[in-house]
Structure 1
Amino acid sequence: MRQSKQSFRHESLQNRKTIQDILKAITKGLGKGKLTFSDEDGEIVLQPRDLLNLKVTASQDDSRNRITVRITWQDEDEVKSKKPLAVD
């Protein structure tokens, strides 16, 4: 089991075109099976598997609008348990 946790977070104000370009880059990376996220504070490389969990939410609250896209997966060695099973 992987012991270390790596994370990357970036937040900035962007125009629609720039966000569209970022989403296209994510789509391209998903297709290639490798996503690299980086900014001046750090970098992370992810290698998505064939089966991914997708969660999309959208909401409006007065003048605040939000779209959240979450893509998750487990590394193959995390999915398959290598521990022996004992049944009594």
Structure 2
Amino acid sequence: MKSKTEFKHESLLTTDDVRALLEALSNGLSKGQLEFSDEHEGSLKIEPEGLLQVKVEASEEEQKQQFEIKVRWERQPKALPKKGPKIS
């Protein structure tokens, strides 16, 4: 079993830079492959496919506002029964 591999990056960017980052994510999703890299963290290549679970959150607190987008999927989705439950 392969151990967890992760990529993390944090920086201060302009809204134009963030827009370009979101466009790059969109383009990668369209191609079915995203590659994350920077000079400190190395690189990580992932291949989203099938049904993707999406979670969007936004919050505001005094002078701080933020939003988060989380997307996840199973590389080998769990097999589900093809029959519904029996209900009497």
TM value normalised by structure 2: 0.84
Q: CA deviation at 1:4?
A: 1.7
2:26 partner letter: T
Instruction: For structure 1, list consecutive stretches of 5 or more residues without a partner in the other structure.
Output: 81-88
- For 2:53, the aligned partner's letter is N
> In the TM superposition, what whole-angstrom CA distance separates every residue of 1:58-88 from its partner, at most 9, and x where no partner exists?
0000000010000001102x534xxxxxxxx
In structure 2, what is the equivalent of residue 50 of structure 1? 50
Task: State how far apart, in whole Å, the 2-side matches of 1:8 and 1:62 are.
Answer: 31
Q: Residue 14 of structure 2 aligns with which residue?
A: 15
Q: Could you say what the CA RMSD is over the residues aligned between the two structures, in angstroms?
A: 1.5
Q: State the alpha-carbon separation in 2 of the partners of residues 20 and 67 from structure 1.
A: 14
Higher helix share: 1
Give the share of equivalent positions with the same residue, in percent: 35
1:34 counterpart residue number: 33
Alpha-carbon separation, structure 2, partners of 1:79 and 1:49: 14
Identify unmatched segments of 5+ residues in structure 2. 80-88
TM-score with structure 1 length normalisation? 0.84
Q: Distance in 1 between matches of 2:4 and 2:56?
A: 25
- 3-state secondary structure, aligned to 1:79: coil
Give the letter aligned to residue 74 of structure 2.
Q
Number of residue pairs aligned between Structure 1 and Structure 2: 79
